[in-house]
Amino acid sequence: MGIIYNRLAGQEVGRIAALSDGLFGVAMTLLVLDIHLPEKLDVHSEAELWAGVVALAPRLVTWLMSMMTLGIFWLGQQAQLSQIERADRNLTWLHFVFLAVVTLLPFTTRLLADFFSYRVAFFLYWANILLAGVALIACWLYTESAKLIRTDAPPELSGAICRRILYAQALYAFGAALGFVHVGLGVAFIILVQLNYVIAPRLPVLYKL
């Protein structure tokens, strides 16, 4: 009975996509809920209000960075799911692991926002991105090995998916190295990498990444 159950469990790709949409939506909402307005009782002039808004800069920067992070990974997962003929129990659990890593992002974002100049906070944020990338590529490698890909998928699909994840993680790792020198430098580089993937400029070098 257990063998039959395991064979039947987790076959609906749509259920994975639905769970993904929900968890990504919650994660995005938690990011913005962590941005708090200056306390009204502490503001008595335009200058004090402006100072309070400026003080939100680390949270706004980390919010922007994390929103792009979530968008990039959501698109990456959806690209995989759209090319899957069917799922199985193992693949469903692999995507569940990926989503579990995604739910950690609001925590690492808040940690970085609260301790913006601390390397430990920055490296934990980068580790969150790294784990998400590892989990996502593991999902695809299993999909390929279990022959769950759609029969009409283009032959170059697997190479394109793996290269995109690996190139992105290599760039994020370089950003982490810059963060060892200065956290602000590392954050700025990661944001530039994310903008490249969000905007997808048709430049000879960047468009292939």
Question: In whole angstroms, how far apart are CA 27 and each of 55, 68, 73?
Answer: 23, 12, 12
| Residue 60 DSSP SS3 | helix
pLDDT in tens, 47-60: 777 777 677 788 89
pTM confidence score: 0.86
Identify the CA nearest to 136 among candidates 11, 20, 18: 20
Q: Name the DSSP letter for residue 59.
A: H
Both structure tokens of 186: 């590392």
The Cα 22–Cα 175 span in angstroms is 29
Both structure tokens of 21: 């949409």
pLDDT in tens, 8-50: 555 678 889 999 999 999 999 999 888 776 676 666 677 777 7
Strand partners, 84: 149
Domain ranges of the chain: 2-208
